[in-house]
């Protein structure tokens, strides 16, 4: 990104940020870990598809079909470039990170995880990287184990070594960045330990890919999953990347059109990768819209995105830490933390707090954040969470802080 481009200039591309919400307050959107807002470039790309190119893909030879197919496959190429993936056949379009992980659990897990085997995940995972492994291990008579974390929110990787030493671990499934604590996992360390033991690694990149430069080829994992809607793209679009030799040996996840080569009464042969795992009519418009999101982030530069969030998160942590009764979670090491801040404020329940500050036009998330295992580890029922992206400003952090002070006065804490 050019240094002259300011956050204010970026905000001009996001019409929703001009909205007036509660009490005629201008929207302060701090729920980006849940989903990000969309720039006009993405909105226009989706509209253009429906206005000018709407057709099914991969099937017909007429002009609209060729245009739609080319635009759809262009997105696959852009994903490859964005993540330094060498072979586009390894890129599978799915509905989101959740479907990507379920695909692996079903199509790889049920072939490779047997009775007595172990799948390892961590205490700070999103439910989408826990529940599929619970289902798999329960069905197969295998065992699910967890890597714990220290009080700073970092994984205790010596526990991983203990599991690996059993010789029974088949897969380690770990998030690249926690959606609650913002902790950035040392994936290089995790992959290195697993490779020495001959164990496959799945990385949930839902929170990392939108916020930092990610090189999947250099990472060395076996599976990588993320979602478009957390990085300016539309909902209903996700990516599963996996090594080609693994995908070729996996059974299909869904059966239907486009994932087949030939269908006879009692047998079917599968299409080539990646189409073997893309049954039926896909989410064409939104995949095309995702290309515009990738273009937008490329124009900014992921180094800019990361630096902006480091500065904003550091500023917010400093401001929030000065509020009496504030409990902050996660590491203070900004090199190991993303733009997510979870907190509890005195005895105010997170849902009550979110309702109060919503009156000031501020959108945060309250609850367990689809991470109840982590909530149990923290010994809390819920937290409040503010999460940042490219269009957020220090002024918005100040508005949040002022609103928290107002909540304190309402509860007679000040």
User: In 10 A of CB 140, how many CB atoms?
Assistant: 18
CA–CA dist 11, 350 (Å, integer)? 28
CA–CA dist 215, 217 (Å, integer)? 6
For 61, the 3-state DSSP assignment is coil
Task: Look at residues 139, 107, 146, 143 and name the one whose alpha carbon lies nearest to residue 125.
Answer: 146
Cα end-to-end span (Å), the chain: 43
Q: In 93-232, which residue ranges form alpha helices assigned H by DSSP?
A: 97-103, 110-112, 131-140, 158-164, 187-196, 216-219
CA–CA dist 13, 8 (Å, integer)? 9
CA–CA dist 136, 115 (Å, integer)? 11
Burial of residue 165 (number of CB atoms within 10 Å: 0-12, 13-18, 19+) = exposed
* Paired tokens of 378: 């923290």
Identify whether 194 is a catalytic site residue: no
The residues facing 175 across adjacent strands are 204
In what order do the strands lie in the sheet containing 238-242?
A: 91-94, 238-242, 223-227, 200-204, 169-175, 118-122, 143-147
DSSP assignments along 74-94, one per residue: HHHHHHHHHHT-S-GGGEEEE
The answer to whether 385 touches 368, Cβ cutoff 8 Å, is: no
Catalytic residue among 370, 373, 375, 413: 370
CA distances in angstroms from 6 to 1, 304, 390, 391, 392, listed in the order given: 10, 11, 10, 9, 11
Q: Under 8 Å CB-to-CB from 152, ≥6 apart: which residues?
A: 330, 331, 332, 333
CA–CA dist 378, 70 (Å, integer)? 48
Q: Would you please indicate which residues are annotated as catalytic (active-site) residues?
A: 370
């Amino acid at each position: 990104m050019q240094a002259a481009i300011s956050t204010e200039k970026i905000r001009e591309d996001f019409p929703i940020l001009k909205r007036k919400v509660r009490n005629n307050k201008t929207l302060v959107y701090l729920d980006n870990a849940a989903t990000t807002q969309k720039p006009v470039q993405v909105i226009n790309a989706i509209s253009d598809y429906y206005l000018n190119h709407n057709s099914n893909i991969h099937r017909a030879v007429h002009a609209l079909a060729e245009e739609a197919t080319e635009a759809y496959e262009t997105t696959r190429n852009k994903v490859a470039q964005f993540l330094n993936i060498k072979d586009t056949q390894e890129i599978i379009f799915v509905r989101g990170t959740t479907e990507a992980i379920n695909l692996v659990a079903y199509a790889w897990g049920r072939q490779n995880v047997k009775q007595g085997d172990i799948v390892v995940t961590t205490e700070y995972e999103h439910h989408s990287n826990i529940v599929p492994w619970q289902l798999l291990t329960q069905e197969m008579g295998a065992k699910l184990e967890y890597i714990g974390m220290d009080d700073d929110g970092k994984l205790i990787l010596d526990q991983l070594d203990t599991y690996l030493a059993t010789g029974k671990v088949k897969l380690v499934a770990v998030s690249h960045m926690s959606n609650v604590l913002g902790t950035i996992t040392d994936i290089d360390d995790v992959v290195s330990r697993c490779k020495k033991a001959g164990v496959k690694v799945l990385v949930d990149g839902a929170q990392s890919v939108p916020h930092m430069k990610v090189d999947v080829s250099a990472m060395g994992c076996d599976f990588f999953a993320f979602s478009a809607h957390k990085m300016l793209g539309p909902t209903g679009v996700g990516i599963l990347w996996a090594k080609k030799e693994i995908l070729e040996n996996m059974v299909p996840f869904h059966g239907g059109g486009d994932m087949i080569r030939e269908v006879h009464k009692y047998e079917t042969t599968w299409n080539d990768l990646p189409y073997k795992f893309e049954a039926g009519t896909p989410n064409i418009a939104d995949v095309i819209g995702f290309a515009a999101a990738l273009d937008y982030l490329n124009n900014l530069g992921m180094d800019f995105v990361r630096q902006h969030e480091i500065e904003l998160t550091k500023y917010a942590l400093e401001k929030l830490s000065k509020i009496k009764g504030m409990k902050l979670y996660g590491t203070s090491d900004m090199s190991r933390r993303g733009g997510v801040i979870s907190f509890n404020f005195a005895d105010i329940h997170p849902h009550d707090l979110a309702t109060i500050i919503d009156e000031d036009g501020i959108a945060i998330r309250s609850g367990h954040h689809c991470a109840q295992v982590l909530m149990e580890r923290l010994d809390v029922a819920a937290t409040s969470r503010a999460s940042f992206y490219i269009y957020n400003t220090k002024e918005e952090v100040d508005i949040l802080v002022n609103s928290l002070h107002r909540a304190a006065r309402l509860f007679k804490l000040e």
